[in-house]
Amino acid sequence: MEVTSSTQPKPSASEAQVASKAAGNEAGKTGNALSSDFETFLKMLTTQMRNQDPLNPVESADFAVQLATFSTVEQQVRTNDLLGGLGARLDTLGLGQLSGWIGLEAEARVPVTYDGAPVTLTTKVDPQADAAQLVVTDGQGRIVQRQDIAPTSGRLDWTGLDASGVPLANGRYTIAVQSSANGETLSQEVVSVHSRITEARLADGDTEIVLADGQSLRASEIISLRQPKTKP
């Protein structure tokens, strides 16, 4: 006896109710694309059941695997969305906490903005050094000044004057301390300076601090904070 598609089994009323209820619940929870995809999946699954070969029907276990796979993907997508939202909230929270830094002076290893007035530097000299020099580089990477200093770490005022007392042009300079012993270079460390914080903002998912001279840096690059010094 030949079997035709007219003998295809129809889903039971209970199966139809389950599929309809699942689709209705998903549509009621969210109107997003994920819910729409889930409804589409149920329709495809129902169509597959209706049009399967009655002589070689799909095993019920296969349907269960399909449902479980889609459910796992669905949960993973929702988890990723929740984690993304949580990350955004944490970033905003961190930004709110950093708002208390505005007005403070931050110490960081950044280029020095020179306007003719002395700049206080914090230097780090290698403990094994018997000599040290300030190496001043301009924005084009050219060394414009070398100045001998005491081979000890600490703070010093850099005037920006050369040996003849002529100041460098106003601008931004990178200053490093070159430590040496017996004429051999041991290390070269960029000095740190203090500058007032004027702004805290989010940039590319990271918290960014803006200094009074317009330079910006990541919050993690700040070495220390202090109250600004009051002028007498």
Q: Quick one: which of 185, 52, 190 has its CA closest to 112?
A: 190
| Token code pair at residue 1 | 């006896």
pLDDT value, residue 55? 66
Whether the per-residue pLDDT at 86 is higher than 70: the answer is no
As a whole number, mean pLDDT of residues 103-127 equals: 94
Task: Determine what percent of the chain is predicted with pLDDT higher than 90.
Answer: 43
Confidence band of 60 (pLDDT split at 50, 70, 90) = low
Smallest CA-to-CA distance from 152 within 131, 189, 125 is with: 125
The larger pLDDT score, comparing residue 184 to residue 44, is at 184
Query: What kind and span of H or E run contains 206?
Result: strand 206-211
Give the span between the Cα atoms of 11 and 38, in whole angstroms: 19
Of 69-83, 84-98, 174-188, highest mean pLDDT: 174-188
Lowest mean pLDDT among 20-24, 124-128, 199-203: 20-24
Note the Cα 1 to chain centre separation in Å: 69
**59 has pLDDT over 90:** no
What is this structure's pTM? 0.58
Domain 111-193 is found in CATH 2.60.40.4070:
yes
Tokens (6 digits) for 84: 């993304």
169 with 185: CB under 8 angstroms? no
Task: Quick: pLDDT tens for 189-228.
Answer: 999 999 999 998 877 767 888 999 999 998 889 999 999 8
pLDDT in tens, 130-181: 999 999 999 999 999 999 999 999 999 999 998 788 999 999 999 999 999 9
Question: Which residues neighbour 40 within 8 Å (Cβ) at sequence distance 6 or greater?
Answer: none
pLDDT at 208: 87
Residue 82 has pLDDT above 80, yes or no: no
**What does the pLDDT read at residue 46?**
74
Q: Are 67 and 61 spatial neighbours (Cβ–Cβ below 8 Å)?
A: no
Residue 36 has pLDDT above 60, yes or no: no
Domain boundaries, the chain: 11-97, 111-193
What is the full DSSP assignment across 94-108? HHHHHGGGTTSEEEE
The Cα-based distances of 11 to 15, 18, 122, 137 in angstroms read: 6, 11, 80, 80
Query: For residue 107, what pLDDT is reported?
Result: 94
pLDDT at 57: 66
pLDDT number for residue 41: 67
Write down the pLDDT at residue 47: 77
pLDDT recorded at residue 142: 94
pLDDT tens, position by position, 61-71: 666 666 667 66
What stretches of the chain show up as alpha helix (H) in DSSP?
13-29, 33-50, 60-98
Question: Helix (H, G, I), strand (E, B), or coil: what is residue 54?
Answer: coil
Provide the angle, in degrees to the nearest 10, between the axes of the packed helices 33-50 and 60-98: 180
Q: What is the Cα–Cα distance from 167 to 23, expressed in whole angstroms?
A: 77
Rounded to an integer, what distance in angstroms lies between the CA atom of residue 27 and that of residue 39? 8
